Structure 1
Amino acid sequence: MFADIVNFIVDTVGSLGYIGIFIMMFLESSFFPFPSEIVMVPAGYLAYKGEMNIYIAIFAGIAGSLAGALFNYFLAVKYGRKFLIKYGRYFFIKEETIAKMEEFFKSHGHISTFSGRLIPAVRQYISFPAGLARMNLFTFSLYTSLGAAIWVIILTLLGYFIGDNEALVKEYLRYIIAVILISLVVIGFWYYKKINKQKKI
């Protein structure tokens, strides 16, 4: 099943080129979440075969990720707060909780956005609380792009070097995700200590 999906993505990306990468990464980052590895790994493999420029493929992937994240961000800006205030009580979300989340993102949105882009099953949705809190747009775009760039580059290089070996790609991805999560825990701990130290000054 996975091989069939990968072949379809390879064919689609191959026919649509860099625009195909942009569109699929936009969808992956917004309202139609699916694993970004089934886009960028095949793109890296096509680059290995000389059918794509790896740098342009990476740029298209990052640009698509940012565009999808901005779509969610502005969706949350326009409808998020009204929706949560109206329906949040059915999910035990109080208006005070919404206010606390907004304050948190105003102060710590940069680290949250960057980290969120690197966590599976979170990267697609981290834009919503950022938009809800009306996080500074430049800061949001910068840290979203940085997080997306790391992930896109990793996937593209995996495709470039071992894209024709599905089992090896899956194995490497498990190790890479584990390393990323451990690194984020370390960064989070360092950030927490830094904030506490600043509060005591």
Structure 2
Amino acid sequence: MTEIILDLMTDYGVLILFVVTFLSCLCVPIPSSLMMLAGGSFAATGDLDTTTTVAAAYGGAVAGDNSGYFLARRFGRRISDWLDANPKRAKLRDGAKSYMDRKGPISVFLSCWLVAPLGPYVNLVSGITGYNWVKFALWGAAGEVFWVGIYIGLGYSFSDQITTLATMLGNASGFLVALLAVIAMGHWLWKVSKRDASHSHGNIA
């Protein structure tokens, strides 16, 4: 995989970097992190211009985020109609909208870099729920600064260890996503148990 990535960078330079970061923000399973590390490595050796490399990765990521948002927003009515057809699905959608209204900025910001695997899905949820685009775009653009800066910066600084770095960062990101899932599940179970306890108390009374 690493050799293929390096060959692509050699043949297509920053263009492939733009395309890869763009597609990764649209839920396409593509090694964008490894590509940015490789881009940073090529910039360190002088094979690519550093400014152009950063601009291509950042431009692709921002364009991908907003494309995902607008695609979901464009087809949001159809999706909403499908959700409304089932009370449980409608409740899930309403819960997502309520969450985005309360914690949208930090969710969009962190999903771009700290828990990047969730980023494309946050983009879609933001569009489906009609989350304010200006807020989405600004917080997303801020988050992509960190995502692009971290990976290209590490690739630039440790150009001879990009495979090891990609593995380490991928494991760390996966761990954070799993941790969030555990926390969310724990919170849900706590709410359910609290609700059941309240119902039991009401029935006894």
Normalising by structure 1, what TM-score? 0.75
Q: Which moved more, 1:98-107 or 1:43-52?
A: 98-107
CA RMSD of aligned residues (A): 2.8
Secondary structure at the counterpart of residue 121 of structure 1: helix
Q: Distance in 1 between matches of 2:129 and 2:167?
A: 37
> Which of 17, 24, 30 pairs up with 1:21?
17
Corresponding pairs, count: 178
Q: Work out which of the residue numbers 77, 100, 115 in structure 2 matches 1:105.
A: 100
1:164 aligns with 2:174: no
Shift of the 166–108 alpha-carbon distance from structure 1 to 2, 3 Å rule, reads closer
- Correspondent of 1:57 among 50, 53, 69: 53
Instruction: Please state if 1:152 is matched with 2:158.
Output: no
Task: Determine if the alignment matches structure 1 residue 71 to structure 2 residue 70.
Answer: no
**Aligned CA distance change for structure 1 residues 167 and 7 (closer, same or farther; 3 Å):** closer
Could you tell me how far apart the structure 1 residues matched to 2:169 and 2:138 are?
Answer: 25
Q: What does residue 90 of structure 2 align with?
A: 95
CA contact (8 A) 2:80 2:128 kept: no
CA distance in 2, matches of 1:34, 1:132: 24
Distance 1:14 1:70 in 2: 28
- State the match for 1:114 in structure 2: 109
The share of aligned pairs that are identical, in percent, is 24
Measure, in 1, the Cα distance between the counterparts of 2:172 and 2:7: 26
Distance 1:88 1:33 in 2: 30
Q: Alpha-carbon deviations, 1:17-68, whole Å to 9, x = none?
A: 2222111110111141323222101101100110112222112111101111
**Structure 2: runs of 5+ lacking an equivalent:** 181-205
1:113–1:126 CA contact under 8 A, matched in 2 = yes
Equivalent pair of 1:85/1:94 in contact (CA under 8 Å): no
Deviations 1:55-111 (A, max 9, x none): 221121111011111121111112134225426878x84213312322331332111
Contact 1:77 1:132 (8 Å CA) reproduced: yes
Please identify runs of 4+ aligned residues in structure 1 that moved more than 4 A: 87-90, 174-178
